[in-house]
Amino acid sequence: MASAVPSAMDRPHFIGIGGAGMSGIAKILAMRGARVAGSDARDSATAGALRALGVTVHIGHAAGHLADDASCVVVSSAIRPDNPELAEAAGRGLPVIHRSDALAGLMEGLRPVAVAGTHGKTTTTSMLAVAFGSLGLEPSYAIGGDLDLPGSNALHGTGEIFVAEADESDRSFHSYDPEVAIVLNVELDHHANYASLEEIYESFQVFAGCIRPGGTLVISADQPGARELRSRVADAPRPGQNLRIVTYGEAEDADIRIVNINPRGLTSDVTVLLDGRALTFTVSVPGRHYAGNAVAALAAGAALGLAPDELAAALGSYTGVKRRLQLQGTAAGVQVIDSYAHHPTEIAADLEAIRGSAGDGRVLVVFQPHLFSRTQELGIEMGEALTLADSSVVLDIYPAREDPVPGVTSDLIIDAAIAKGADARAEHSMEAVPELIAGMARPGDLVLTMGAGDVTELGPRILARLAD
């Protein structure tokens, strides 16, 4: 079993080390004994966690941050070519390694499980990491979010399994060679990198072709894009791959069929038919969407040879990921929950899940659109998804790495929601939101802060105002 540091990464420098994907790789390398350094635009709790592992973290970007003896520079697709540290690396002739290639290097000699899909990756990867850990398998993992338990987005374990979130946004998941791959869904997203759904299908086909000989593709039997991908993969087999395809879901033709989902507050009991017999287990997050994620994890573990009964029980120990329907607290009889959902399908799934837990209470949403390109392409669908809420407050677009697009504003979402009969309004000041929500909410209501940007910071502020 390999768990050494690849020679080129014994003294790596990460540009943008505070990002979810980058920080995870940096943590694993540090745990394996590499001398890790890096930089990020601002200080953060993630930077503090890295420093606790002995990592040198510089704030801001400057050529002087690159150590004289750095062995390589690790970047993500978000790093611009004019970054001064990247320019310094080029001047020195240092190897520049993409984040995905660095992660692939860490998985060499192990049994990788790669989780892909337009949405649901972080949750499913986390479920696997927690379940495998509770079974004593001591997995390594790299996840795009922090677990409630054990509280990190990455770990170097001593076992032979490595669980990784496989990001399709920039085609970087083509770098991996998993023993088991999960595809949860295939939908149009990441408009800066994909011109059409056809390009996304082609990219996922390449990913499926990377699965090791004798490996397994676990894929949804319910989601239309996944069903189309399964057909394409089955119709164009890769010579020598001997790929096994396992489907899961509520569809009657699913290999692992979900026959019942029984919601119980913020948890669900899920019953599946597996190898001709019924198996029931608890999922500690609400809704059909998350139940499907858990069954995908069950199928992947079974493909690795784990006993389904033991794995099902272990999945019950999963308590969530930060920002995935995470309860922030309760004040004045109002629950405040945080959601990372930013794609229309995710928004609808989380609102349906919360609606099932709200009882007679109302669901109030504070939604922050993420990226101008995504809003331009999917703004109408986002607004239509918000019709599942009783009332929505829509913030300005969180730009992340993008420049503004003329004519693309949150009004696209608000207008679409109102056109479908929803109660939706704009709020341009985040500072005004706690007071606004406190005036709207009443005991028994659920407030959902939703989006992939800094809307997550509003939960504690809303709770504080409600408690006044």
Where in the chain are the domains?
A: 7-95, 110-315, 324-467
Position 182 pLDDT exceeds 50 = yes
Q: Quick one: pLDDT at residue 194?
A: 85
| Residue 24 binned pLDDT confidence (cut-offs 50, 70, 90) | very high
- Per-residue pLDDT, 322: 63
Of residues 418 and 348, more confidence is placed in 418
Q: Which residue has the higher pLDDT, 7 or 19?
A: 19
Alpha-carbon distance of 289 to 184, in angstroms, equals 10
User: At residue 323, does pLDDT exceed 80?
Assistant: no
Could you please state the CATH topology (level 3) that the domain comprising 7-95 is classified under: Rossmann fold (3.40.50)
pLDDT at 145 over 70: no
The response to whether 159 counts as a known ligand-binding position is no
How far, in Å, CA of 40 to CA of 58, rounded? 6
Task: Please give the average per-residue pLDDT across 98-116, as a whole number.
Answer: 95
Query: Is 123 annotated to bind ligand?
Result: yes
Residue 124's nearest CA partner among 99, 143, 105 is 143
Q: Which of 86-90, 145-149, 160-164, 169-173 has the lowest mean pLDDT?
A: 145-149
- Whether the upstream peptide bond of residue 308 has omega within 30° of 0, thus cis, is no
pLDDT at 230: 97
Q: What is the DSSP string of 93-144?
A: T--EEEHHHHHHHHHTTSEEEEEESSS-HHHHHHHHHHHHHHTT---EEE-S
What's the pLDDT tens digit per position in 388-437?
A: 999 999 999 999 878 999 999 999 999 999 999 999 999 999 999 999 99
- What is the C-alpha to C-alpha distance for residues 422 and 291, in angstroms, rounded to an integer? 28
Q: Whole-model pTM? A: 0.77
The one-letter amino acid at 418: I
Q: Which residues contact 201 (CB under 8 A, 6 or more apart)?
A: 186, 225, 228, 229, 232
Q: Specify the fold of 110-315.
A: UDP-N-acetylmuramoyl-L-alanine:D-glutamate ligase (3.40.1190)
What CATH fold (topology level) applies to the domain 324-467? Answer: Protein-Tyrosine Phosphatase; Chain A (3.90.190)
pLDDT band at residue 288, thresholds of 50, 70 and 90? Answer: confident
Instruction: Read off the pLDDT of each residue in 274-290 and give the average, rounded to a whole number.
Output: 88
Dist CA 88 CA 241 (whole Å): 42
387 marked ligand binding residue: no
What is the average pLDDT across 170-176? Answer: 91
Q: Is the pLDDT of residue 265 over 80?
A: no
Catalytic member of 27, 46, 88, 122: 122
From the candidates 46, 88, 125, 165, which is the catalytic residue?
165
Q: Is the Cβ–Cβ distance between 392 and 459 less than 8 Å?
A: no
Is 119 part of any known ligand binding site? Answer: yes
DSSP-based three-state secondary structure for 253:
coil
Q: Percent of the chain scored above 70 by pLDDT?
A: 96
Mean pLDDT of 45-57: 93
Give the integer Cα–Cα distance in Å for 426 and 189. 24
Mean pLDDT, residues 447-466? 94
Catalytic residue of the set 121, 346, 384, 449: 121
Residue 122, annotated as binding a ligand: yes
Active site residue 420: no
Question: For position 151, what pLDDT does the model report?
Answer: 52
pLDDT at 32: 95
**Same fold flag, 7-95 and 110-315:** no
Could you tell me which residues come within 8 angstroms of residue 372 by beta carbon, excluding any fewer than 6 positions away? Answer: 397, 399, 402, 403, 404, 405, 408
- pLDDT greater than 50 at residue 150: no
What does the CA dihedral 303, 306, 307, 308 come to, rounded to 10 degrees?
-50
Average pLDDT value for residue range 134-150: 78
For residue 247, pLDDT over 70 is answered with yes
pLDDT band of 326, cuts 50, 70, 90: confident
109 assigned to a ligand binding site:
no
Annotated binding-site residue? 322 = no
Q: pLDDT at residue 447 above 80?
A: yes
122 is annotated as an active-site residue? yes
Mean pLDDT for all residues in the chain: 91
Query: What is the per-residue pLDDT for 153?
Result: 87
Distance, in Å, from the CA atom of 107 to the CA atom of 164, rounded to the nearest integer, reads 9
Cα–Cα distance between 88 and 79 in angstroms, integer? 14
